[in-house]
Amino acid sequence: MNSARIVKAFGRLDRIPEVFGAVRQFDRGLVLTAQYLGLRSPRYPGMVVSRSGDQYRIEEFGDVETLWQIAARGVYDVRPDDRCIVDAGANTGLFTCYACSVAPSARVLAIEPFPPSHRRLLDSVSRNSLESRVTVLPVALAGTPGTEVMCISYRSSQENWIQRQAGLQGQLRLRASCDAQ
């Protein structure tokens, strides 16, 4: 149990509506809340299921934090009548799947260059039967075409980054394409 996280949570009583949001949206919303607050250790891998049946695979604490920010906290404005959504830096597909659930007529373009995250993104799309609505591109976004060093974080898939200088361990070279296809 992370006591510092608990103290911080109780200092932010203005965020209590997020707990109600988690309970309203997920079958085990209180469990997700306890994991997010550090009151309960998640078991990895795990599955969080929404009340509408969407499945979100959780493999690390960063996934718990990300799902909380997307669904319980509502940091991204997705409306039911949205028709086209771009998820640039789609990571493992948590937002992609959430957006498809909130906006049932939308098509989503999900962009994710990191191979491990890209594989999880494809799995998320497939697990939720969204292949007909989601186009997944394994590319990076940049201002100009070229090659950059993309570093993979070993702590969390949400912490991958582009390093403009070579010479780092754990690096992966990918072509960042900005050309319209």
pLDDT in tens, 99-111: 999 999 999 999 9
> How far, CA to CA in Å, does 111 sit from each of 33, 69, 177?
29, 19, 11
Write the burial class of residue 129 (CB in 10 Å: 0-12 exposed, 13-18 middle, 19+ buried). exposed
The pLDDT tens digits of the residues spanning 1-59 come to 566 766 666 666 778 888 888 999 999 999 999 888 888 888 899 999 999 999 999 99
The reported pTM is 0.81
Q: In the prediction, which pLDDT does 163 show?
A: 60
Lowest mean pLDDT, pick from 82-96, 145-159, 166-180:
166-180
What confidence tier does 119 reach under pLDDT thresholds 50, 70, 90? Answer: very high
Q: Residue 77: how many CB atoms within 10 A of its CB? A: 7
- The reported pLDDT for the residue numbered 83 is 97
Per-residue pLDDT of 74-97, as tens digits, reads 999 999 999 999 999 999 999 999
Beta strand 107-111 with 134-137: parallel, antiparallel or unpaired?
parallel
pLDDT at res. 156:
66
Cα within 13 Å of Cα(109), Cβ side: 9
pLDDT (0 to 100) of residue 180? 38
Q: Rg of the chain's alpha carbons, rounded to an integer?
A: 17
- Residue 113 pLDDT: 87
